[in-house]
Amino acid sequence: MASSMYRHILDHLTTAVVLLDMKLRLQYLNPAAESLLEASGSRVRGMALEDLLVDPGQGLDTLHAAVKNQQAYTKREADFLLVTGTRFIVDYSVTPIVTESLGLLLEMQPRDRLIRISREEDILSQQETTRILVRGMAHEIKNPLGGIRGAAQLLDRELNDEGQKEYTRVIIEEADRLRGLVDRMLGPRKALQMAPTNVHEVLERVKTLLEAESKGMIRFERDYDPSVPEFDGDREQLIQAFLNIARNAMEALQEEHAGERQHAPSILFRTRILRQFTIGHHRHRLVCRIDIIDNGPGIPPELLQNIFYPMISGRANGTGLGLSITQSIIGQHQGLVECESEPGHTNFIVFLPLENRT
């Protein structure tokens, strides 16, 4: 009776619980552990834990120490990759237990969600700090620019020598160019024109534009979830947001030396529905996740954390404004943009809430 009650309790825990023998072979997984390890307890019984993982490295060193020293240990943020391809991060505790036979009790608490929420909060905080900084800088730049331009116009009217007038026109043109740059840094200034929007129509428009620009040199792929519903959004602004991301990917693919490529250059547009998903401090019933994935050279690690700041660009001829504007547009839709990148795989992930907003 007691054994049945304990089993019932374990089956209802949200913490993943695994029982191992002293050779780290699986003896029992509760449902939370089965979900985390993507394995059926009955099928993997007797299998070595390392057989479920790809190159665990030092991730299991604490387990081996527990076997050797017969002491309890805890490891924070251990990074594991399953043979199924799923990567996850957990805090785990391992405790030697003595019954009729020796074994280890392994308790795992997933950290991925908490780490992601913390990262998103940092991104949103950075966005707000950047907006305040840019607005302040724009104000300080525009005021003297207006004076410089006005003075140059007055001087231009007073001059009779066309050669000297050429200099005043350069001042006026450069002042206008700098003002335009500041305006682009501030992002879209007009209010959103909200209307029922189909995200796949937006992505198809982006795909059509870039297919024409790339002249068939890049393969565009689609993996759409047909269950994604319409939502209230500004179609034109969203086209601009996704176009900025995809055009960056296209230009990175074009700049990469063709002779060094192992695979044909490609960009994938993928959509999925997420339920009960948190963006920043807000939990949304339905969220659309849009992935824009390219197989280009990747973004240097030292640049990756700052790519959404204005004037940050990985290309020699880049302005560094496209991704900043994209983050601003998606932010106005209560969404968020993230990026994961390594050589051969760069993924810009856009999260858009699907609830109607008033």
Task: Name the one residue in this structure whose structure tokens are 């009776």.
Answer: 1
Tally the domains of the chain.
Answer: 3
CA pair distance 178, 234, nearest whole angstrom: 28
Same domain, 232 and 96: no
Based on the domain organization, do 244 and 299 belong to the same domain? yes
303/284 Cα distance (integer angstroms): 30
CATH number, domain containing residue 30: 3.30.450.20
Tokens 């209307």 locate to 195
Q: In this predicted structure, what is the pLDDT of residue 1?
A: 46
- Give the residues of the chain that fall short of pLDDT 50: 1, 259, 358
Any idea of the CA torsion for 315, 180, 197, 211, to the nearest 10 degrees?
-40
CA dihedral 297, 301, 307, 313 (to 10 degrees): -60
Question: What's the CATH number where 283 sits?
Answer: 3.30.565.10
* One domain for residues 96 and 153: no
| C-alpha–C-alpha distance, residues 311 and 178, integer Å | 13
Helix axes 235-255, 199-214, angle to 10 degrees: 40
Whether residue 135 lies inside any domain: the answer is yes
Q: Are 309 and 316 in contact (CB under 8 A)?
A: no
Q: Which of 60, 78, 110 is the endpoint of a domain?
A: 110
The pLDDT score that the predictor gives to residue 348 is 94
**Domain coverage including residue 234:** 195-353
Other CB atoms within 10 A of residue 127 CB: 20
Is the same domain home to 343 and 229? yes
Domain boundary among 159, 186, 213: 186
CB 72 within 8 A of CB 94: yes
Tokens of 356: 């109607």
With a CB cutoff of 8 Å and minimum separation 6, the contacts of 350 are 241, 242, 245, 289, 290, 291, 292, 330, 335, 336, 337
- 149 domain residue, yes or no: yes
Tell me how many helices (H) and strands (E) the chain has: 10, 12
Phi, psi of 268 (to 5 degrees): -110, 130
Please tell me whether residues 81 and 152 are part of one structural domain: no
Q: What is the pLDDT of residue 132?
A: 72
For the record, the structure tokens of 1 come out as 């009776």
Q: Do the domain assignments include residue 358?
A: no
How far apart (Å, rounded) are the C-alpha atoms in residues 269 and 338? Answer: 15
Q: Which of 64, 82, 110 finishes a domain? A: 110
Looking at the structure, do residues 204 and 348 belong to the same domain, yes or no? yes
Whether residues 48 and 132 share a domain: the answer is no
| pLDDT computed for residue 37 by the predictor | 82
| pLDDT for the residue numbered 202 | 95
Within a domain: residue 261? yes
Q: Are residues 204 and 293 in the same domain?
A: yes
182 and 201 in one domain? no
341 and 199 part of one domain: yes
Residue 287 and residue 219 share a domain: yes
Q: How many residues does the chain have?
A: 358
Q: Find, among 291, 297, 300, the residue nearest to 344 by Cα.
A: 297
Q: Does any domain span residue 300? A: yes
Which long-range contacts does 86-89 make (Cβ < 8 Å, 24+ apart)? 86/38, 88/36, 88/112, 89/115
Instruction: Give how far Cα 178 sits from Cα of 174, 198, 236, 300, Å.
Output: 6, 36, 25, 29
Are residues 65 and 20 part of one domain?
Answer: yes
Per-residue confidence (pLDDT) for residue 319, from 0 to 100: 55
pLDDT of residue 18: 87
Pairing of strands 282-294, 345-353: antiparallel
